[in-house]
């Protein structure tokens, strides 16, 4: 399968998925990297590894950016099967969601539906988790709809929140789990091991 990964930052999830594609754990190829920040760590890594970089959305004064229609055309031309959001901070337009039904995933660093939605990003998530007194946190991978963090939940894993945790310490513990979970889920996606329950809940079938 062919994947497009969207990033806005350092791209550590992107790198771990890329490595899993190279070593064969994921039966897929990252053909396109989409970013709203052409100089972010993820974009630099993509160029170093010969992955095509597309700028989206377009910004004033930056002629390189694509419109939504042009992005959809570019993804189709690259024969992209699935879109993987990995720390991409912009909302995904409805036109792209409709072009890739049940094919766009996002990762969020809390146990959704808690601590999600607009405003919950980066360290803010982990600070809110610590302030709430919650004893567990962890990443959620979900399908993407037209709102922030509300699409159908596909996978989660848990880490403890320690009494002495700073937001940075909790973030690091969650991020380690993100890398494992996203690689596993992307492997399942590429092997068509995702099934949809009648009530619309997606499930991952384990390997035979
Ligand atoms: C991760 O914590 C992810 O959950 C969130 O943004 C962060 C991206 O980290 N959506 P990285 O760019 O993959 O290192």
Domain-wise residue ranges, the chain: 2-204
7, 45, 107, best to mutate for ligand 1 pocket (most atoms within 8 Å of CB): 107
Q: How many CB atoms lie within 10 A of CB 14?
A: 27
pLDDT tens per residue, range 125-180: 999 999 999 999 999 999 999 999 999 999 999 999 999 999 999 999 999 999 99
Which residue has the CA at smallest separation from atom 12 of ligand 1? Answer: 11
142 is catalytic: no
Residue 177, pLDDT score: 98
* Structure confidence by residue, pLDDT tens digits, 88-123: 999 999 999 999 999 999 999 999 999 999 999 999
DSSP secondary-structure letter at 55? E
Whether 55 has a pLDDT exceeding 80, the answer reads: yes
Domain covering 2-204 in this structure, CATH number:
3.40.50.170
What confidence score (pLDDT) does residue 59 get?
78
Listed as own residue / partner, the contacts of 160-166 with beta carbons closer than 8 Å and 24 or more positions apart are: 160/135, 160/136, 161/129, 161/130, 161/134, 161/135, 161/136, 161/137, 165/130, 166/130
Ligand 1 atom nearest 85 alpha carbon: 10
Q: Please report the pLDDT score of residue 58 as a whole number.
A: 85
Residue 75: pLDDT above 90?
A: yes
Within a 10 A sphere around the Cβ of 204, how many other Cβ atoms?
A: 17
Judged against a pLDDT cut of 80, whether residue 63 lies above it is answered with no
């Amino acid at each position: 399968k062919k994947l497009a990964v969207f990033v806005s930052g350092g791209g550590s999830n992107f790198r771990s998925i890329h490595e899993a594609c190279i070593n064969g754990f994921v039966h897929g190829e990252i053909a396109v990297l989409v970013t709203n920040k052409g100089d972010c760590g993820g974009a630099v890594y993509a160029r170093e590894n010969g992955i095509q970089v597309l700028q989206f959305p377009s910004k004033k004064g930056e002629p390189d950016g694509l419109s939504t229609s042009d992005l959809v055309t570019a993804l189709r031309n690259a024969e992209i099967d699935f879109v993987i959001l990995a720390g991409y901070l912009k909302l995904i337009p409805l036109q792209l969601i409709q072009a890739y039904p049940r094919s766009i995933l996002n990762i969020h660093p809390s146990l959704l539906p808690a601590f999600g939605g607009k405003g919950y990003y980066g360290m803010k998530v982990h600070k809110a988790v610590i302030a709430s007194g919650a004893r567990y946190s962890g990443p959620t991978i979900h399908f993407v709809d037209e709102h922030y963090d509300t699409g159908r939940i596909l996978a989660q894993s848990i880490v403890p929140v320690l009494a002495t945790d700073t937001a940075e310490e909790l973030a690091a513990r969650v991020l380690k789990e993100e890398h494992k979970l996203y690689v596993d889920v992307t492997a399942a996606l590429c092997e068509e091991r995702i099934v949809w329950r009648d009530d619309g809940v997606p499930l991952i079938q384990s390997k035979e």
